[in-house]
Amino acid sequence: MSVFVNPVWDPAAVAPPSADALAFHRALPGYAPTPLRELVSGVLVKDESDRLGLPAFKVLGASWAGERALREQPDVHTLVAASAGNHGRAVAHVAARRGLAARIFLPSRARPARREAIAREGAEVVIVDGDYEEAVARAAAEGTRPGCFELADVGDGGAAAWVVDGYATLFAELADQAAFDAILVPAGVGSLAAAAARFGAQEGVEVWAVEPETAACVTASLAAGAPVAVPTPGTTMAGLDCAEVSVAAWPSLRDGLRGTVTVSDDEAAIAMTELAAVGMVIGECGAAPLAALPAAREASDFATVVLIATEGLTA
């Protein structure tokens, strides 16, 4: 486990969060704010293990980006995405609800359970002989076909920006649920962390991103002062197994993150067990903030922290 303190942290430079998606989400069938649970005094857990019928937060970004896509291109018949698991399932779920087809590209090391969950949503699953970034490239090419739209959560605009806007709903809920002065949030390509950073800058809340030691692209990019790619030999935190940050998320990450904490697969597994012991069934990515908590507390002096438990058991 290691801590990186962001030397250019400047919350005043961060764009404000978007409120556009909140009313849309509130109108969706089955919408309800996810619970905020007290783990111990001063430690709260935002439990995203049941969000709009799926076991992860990703549907917030996918549903809003899908809505925006159809407003702009009403002739779209197929949503396309690359995923390590949760985003692809969310896109497939949104497509089915909107009467659309879905084609999801997964890296070859995606677990069979994640593949099967996406297929159960009615999507065509394409296994790519390569890593997540290769899946992203394949999805981008597929999205250029007539009638297809790439609903990406990584990139330099369009859907990637809408996804960040969609995640703002999670933090708007938090503002109504409790008072706190810090957030620990998992970061893969950084879209959720960017939404957290925008909220934190607006509300005066520190935001720390949590990454796997073997896929710490946000940490590397903050250290370099610009987005850089890192090798990704693999991690059990599959949704965070990303080599590059999203360009759309980068400005908010650069200016809005107080810092980052990297954790090992073993540390995430121990945190999963600790959460399970108090009745919270959370996956590896969602448990990572708990694993990072001791190191973040040593680096800062926050009093009350919210851990974003991004997923239930998804594999």
CATH fold match for the domains 2-57+166-309 and 59-152: yes
* Cβ atoms of 118 and 104 closer than 8 Å: yes
Domain 2-57+166-309 has CATH 3.40.50.1100: yes
DSSP alpha helix (H) spans, 143-278? 159-177, 191-203, 217-224, 250-256, 265-277
The pLDDT score that the predictor gives to residue 315 is: 61
Please give the Cα distance from 46 to 287 (Å, whole number).
11
Please give the Cα distance from 68 to 80 (Å, whole number).
15
- The CA–CA distances, whole Å, from 136 to 150, 155, 158 equal 10, 9, 15
Closest CA to 276 of 223, 230, 247, 312: 312
The pLDDT score that the predictor gives to residue 84 is: 78
- Domain limits of the chain? 2-57+166-309, 59-152
pLDDT along the chain (315 residues), means of 10: 97 96 96 98 98 96 97 96 88 96 92 90 94 89 94 87 97 98 97 98 98 98 97 93 95 98 98 97 97 97 97 80
The pLDDT score that the predictor gives to residue 175 is: 97
DSSP reduced 3-state for 235: coil
Write down the pTM of the prediction: 0.94
Q: What angle do CA 1, 179, 253 make, to 5 degrees?
A: 45
Please give the Cα distance from 15 to 230 (Å, whole number).
27
* Topology of the domain comprising 59-152: Rossmann fold (3.40.50)
The pLDDT score that the predictor gives to residue 4 is: 98
**What is the chain's Cα-based Rg?**
18
